[in-house]
Amino acid sequence: MSDAPAVRCEHLTKWYGDVTAVDSLSFTVRRGECFGLLGPNGAGKTTTIEILEGLLVPDAGDVEVLGLRWKTDDAELRQRLGIQLQETRLAEKATVEETLRMFRSFYRHGRSVPDLLRLFELDGKRRTWVGKLSGGQRQRLAVACALAGAPDLLFLDEPTTGLDPQSRRQLWSVLAEFRAQGGTVLVTTHYMDEAEILCDRVAVVDQGRLIALGTPGELIDALAAPKVVTRRGTLEDVFMALTGRHLRE
């Protein structure tokens, strides 16, 4: 069904031993929006996104992606998703082009490799080994691999962590292009400014629980009372107001 939400999860729960990594999390990601999972390290963002990506099985709760379920529609779903993982290091001795070509081969339909190279401004690095790329170029390549199958839904886990400001902006502009063509994005981040710029709606997560959900503007207006009249609040203030802690402590 094409009008099914991109992601619908209800009471998602995951335990690691005694630790509850994800605690009865429920939210819906609409088609065509960019949805942010926001929270400090260890909040359960990665566990949540990996459950949605079908890499982890939840201990309780219900997940639907693009109206399909992992148990029955694994192969179909994989063709329609683009996935970038937080800590993947691509093979260092393969060139950029070889890497893209391999990922492209897994998908029935998708963008051509030259197209991807151009979109991600990796044209000039086509024959460069991955090991010789800068951090920003590597991250662009990782996202390019995720877009190789022209997915309906793109999962990004901390895509700009450790990148310089220019590389971050470059990645953001590629995501804008993807969304302009109707793509849906689910992104985790602990950067407030990134969430404010990229996301239509944000779920703030702490200790595996959903503590706020709304557009960045709504959350800021409702929760981040400006301390100084001349400065509007930020999502950082929202998090402080909700938990009494800083996001990156």
Partner 1 sequence: MGSGVIFRGQRPHLSPLVELTLARLREFVREPEALFWTFVFPILMSVMLAVAFPARGDRPVPVGLVPGPEAASVRRMLESAPGISVRDVTETGEQAALREGEVDLIVVPSTPPVYRFDPAREGSRIARLVVDAALKKAEGRADPWSAREEPVEVPGSRYIDWLIPGILGMNIMSTGMWGIGFSIVQMRLRKLLKLLVASPMRKGEYLLAQMLARLVFLAPEAAVPLLFGALVLGMPVLGSYAVIAVVCLTGALSFAALGLLAASRPRTLEAISGILNLVMLPMWVLSGVFFSTANFPDVLQPVIQALPLTALNDALRAVVLEGASLRAVSGELALLAAWGILPFAGALRLFRWT
Instruction: Report yes or no: 238 and 218 within 8 Å, Cβ to Cβ.
Output: no
Biggest CA–CA distance in the chain, Å, is: 55
**CB-nearer residue toward partner 1: 76 or 164:** 76
Q: Does 24 bind partner 1 (CB under 8 A)?
A: no
What's the closest the beta carbon of residue 47 comes to partner 1, in angstroms? 12
**CB-nearer residue toward partner 1: 162 or 217:** 162
Q: At what angle do helices 135-147 and 96-105 cross, to 10 degrees?
A: 20
What's the closest the beta carbon of residue 146 comes to partner 1, in angstroms? 9
Instruction: Report yes or no: 78 and 33 within 8 Å, Cβ to Cβ.
Output: no
Give the length of the chain: 249
What's the closest the beta carbon of residue 97 comes to partner 1, in angstroms? 8
Among 140, 242, 138, residue whose Cα is nearest residue 192? 242
Is 16 in a helix, a strand, or coil?
A: strand
What's the closest the beta carbon of residue 101 comes to partner 1, in angstroms? 4
Site for partner 1, residues 74 to 133, rule: CB under 8 A: 75, 78-79, 81, 83, 85, 87-91, 93-94, 97-98, 101-108, 112-114
Instruction: Report yes or no: 178 and 154 within 8 Å, Cβ to Cβ.
Output: yes
Q: Does 55 bind partner 1 (CB under 8 A)?
A: yes
Please identify, among the stretches 37-45, 73-81, 175-183, 235-243, the one whose residues bind partner 1 according to the rule CB under 8 A.
73-81
**CB-nearer residue toward partner 1: 147 or 163:** 147
Is 196 in a helix, a strand, or coil?
A: helix
What's the closest the beta carbon of residue 148 comes to partner 1, in angstroms? 9
Among 141, 186, 164, 153, residue whose Cα is nearest residue 80? 153
Query: In degrees rounded to 5, what are phi and psi of residue 135?
Result: -60, -40
Site for partner 1, residues 130 to 189, rule: CB under 8 A: 145, 149
**Residue 34: Cβ-neighbour burial (10 angstroms; 0-12, 13-18, 19+):** buried
Q: Does 68 bind partner 1 (CB under 8 A)?
A: no
Q: Give the amino acid at 61.
A: G
What's the closest the beta carbon of residue 92 comes to partner 1, in angstroms? 9
Residues at the interface with partner 1 (CB under 8 A): 53-55, 75, 78-79, 81, 83, 85, 87-91, 93-94, 97-98, 101-108, 112-114, 145, 149
